[in-house]
């Protein structure tokens, strides 16, 4: 869990956010401009919809510590494993340094599981670094769902990433982080990071107590 009492500034909190640009109408100029924003706000990663944009993002982020985040099987995860494997190999070959792999939720439902807990357990068993709430394209998670994900991953090496943060985004994003998420993926990363001082002023983020 993130200890906000040790985070002093907006620059530091930037590493709690992946800047995600996913719309189908996204242009090359938008990708390049938003990569520059990701650098400005010190985000953890810049995420995009497929390997198509990987070379451009890798070019823009060269020399920074920001991860190049390609989506695999976006947005429904219903490709075959062979197709996902090819997408993965291609994205890495082009310069991706982190991958958002979309789970086939229909296949999970066919097993008649309660979705969240077994999905987290499968990711933990497979050694996946992050378990993610959704693609962020549709309904976002509830606070209770994020808490359940965090509880499932507690004591493991798998951490929780939340996408699909809805309005009011700054308040909801920081509450998810305080509830046990370690990372937020959102197109509104700059807006949410800019609200850091306000969220601290009103008490959503605790006061800074130093190292």
Active site residue 65: no
Starting at the earlier edge strand, list the strands of the sheet with 159-163.
98-101, 67-72, 45-48, 17-21, 183-186, 159-163, 130-132
Q: Which residue has the tokens 């062979």?
A: 82
Residue 101 burial (CB count, 10 A):
17
Q: Which of 161, 166, 182, 194 is catalytic?
A: 161
Is position 132 annotated as part of the catalytic site? Answer: yes
Query: Which residue of the set 100, 114, 154, 201 is catalytic?
Result: 100
CA 143 to chain centre: 16
Q: Classify the C-alpha dihedral 127-158-172-146 as positive or negative.
A: positive
Question: What b/e string do you get for 53-70 counting C-beta neighbours within 10 Å, with b at 16 or more?
Answer: bbebbbebbeeeebbbbb
Active site residues: 100, 132, 161
């Amino acid at each position: 869990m993130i200890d906000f009492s040790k985070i002093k500034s907006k620059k530091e909190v930037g590493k709690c956010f992946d800047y995600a640009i996913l719309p189908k109408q996204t242009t090359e100029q938008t990708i390049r401009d938003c990569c520059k924003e990701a650098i400005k706000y010190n985000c953890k990663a810049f995420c995009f919809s497929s390997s198509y944009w990987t070379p451009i993002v890798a070019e823009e982020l060269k020399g920074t510590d920001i991860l190049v985040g390609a989506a695999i099987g976006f947005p429904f995860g219903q490709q075959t494993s062979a197709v996902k494997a090819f997408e993965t190999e291609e994205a890495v070959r082009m310069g991706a340094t982190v991958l958002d792999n979309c789970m086939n939720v229909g296949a999970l439902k066919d097993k008649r599981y309660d979705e969240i807990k077994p999905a987290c357990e499968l990711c933990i068993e497979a050694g996946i670094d992050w378990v993610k709430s959704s693609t962020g394209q549709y309904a976002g998670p509830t606070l209770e769902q994020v808490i359940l994900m965090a509880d499932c991953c507690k004591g493991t090496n798998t951490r929780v990433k939340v996408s699909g943060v809805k309005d009011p985004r700054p308040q909801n994003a920081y509450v998810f982080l305080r509830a046990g998420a370690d990372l937020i993926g959102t197109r509104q990363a700059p807006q949410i990071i800019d609200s850091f001082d306000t969220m601290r002023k009103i008490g959503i983020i605790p006061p800074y107590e130093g190292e």
